[in-house]
Amino acid sequence: MLKINYSNIPKIIIALDFCNKKKAMKLVDLLNPSLFYLKIGKEMFTILGKKFINELHQLGFNIFLDLKFHDIPNTVFNATKAAADLGIWMLSIHASGGKKMLMSAKKALESFKEAPLLIAVTALTSFKQEDLKDIGIQMSLQNYILILSKLSYDCGLDGVVCPGKEAKKIKLLYGDKYKIVSPGIRCIHDSAFDQNQIITPKQAKNFPIDYIVIGRSITSSKNPIKKLNLIIQSMQ
């Protein structure tokens, strides 16, 4: 049997996008918290709130709270503080909220001894060029991602969420410490669903990505653990 080496592949964040706790726990109970991170997004957090985060912490998981804050600086300051109080490992915010909002979020974390990583979403991986045009932005999607990556870097954020294909450029510009988180991970025969900026796990391994986010490839599979293992094997 192939011996799995986790040290030379991106770390895996599983997107727990389920409509109820029972479904989520069916998968969580099969995962090793020392190997996988969990991402709680708008759906599960709205349904289950901070109690669920506490329960997952008790099981030993590091949690990426993916609420993608985007609001006026004061509101984001207070929401970021409240999120950090939960003891989460990573938190997301929209880079397009602008400089003052990003800096407020950063400031909100100053008083925490162990602050979560603050990561800015550049462009959603569901976006393609025409979606940018629809919201009045004429530049290329790639330039948009680079501009927001620079803004987030300048505001002192820990990294960005971006399509895997942009990882190399961003790492070259801002260095290895600037974290890259990439969703839109699909195996060759998987459905893309609503994602448009897609890479395979194998491609992800060859880009300088720190964390890959995998959701429906695993969660919509009949045998999620088998699928997860196949994904990991494809990156060896």
d(CA 47, CA 189): 31
17 in Cβ contact with 43 (< 8 Å): yes
Nearer to ligand C5P, 161 or 231 (CB): 161
> Which residues of the chain form beta strands (DSSP E)?
11-15, 36-40, 63-69, 90-94, 117-121, 159-161, 179-182, 211-214
Nearer to ligand C5P, 12 or 79 (CB): 12
Output helix, strand, coil percentages for the chain, rounded to the nearest 5. Answer: 45, 15, 40
CA geometry: angle 38, 25, 64, nearest 5 deg: 15
Nearer to ligand C5P, 118 or 121 (CB): 121
CB of 47 to ligand C5P, least distance (A): 14
Question: In sequence order, what are the residues at sequence separation of 6 or more whose Cβ sits closer than 8 angstroms to the Cβ of residue 144?
Answer: 122, 123, 132, 137
Nearer to ligand C5P, 18 or 153 (CB): 18
- Which residues make up the interface to ligand C5P (CB under 6 A)? 15, 17, 41, 66, 121, 124-125, 161, 183, 193, 195, 213-217
Is 68 catalytic? The answer is yes
Read off φ and ψ for residue 97, nearest 5 degrees: -70, -15
CB of 78 to ligand C5P, least distance (A): 22
199 in Cβ contact with 230 (< 8 Å): no
Nearer to ligand C5P, 15 or 117 (CB): 15
CB of 122 to ligand C5P, least distance (A): 7
C-alpha to C-alpha distances, 105 to 38, 155, 158, 175, nearest whole angstrom: 22, 10, 12, 22
210 in Cβ contact with 11 (< 8 Å): yes
CB of 75 to ligand C5P, least distance (A): 20
CB of 224 to ligand C5P, least distance (A): 12
- The residue annotated as part of the active site, out of 11, 50, 51, 68, is 68
Mind telling me the catalytic residues?
68
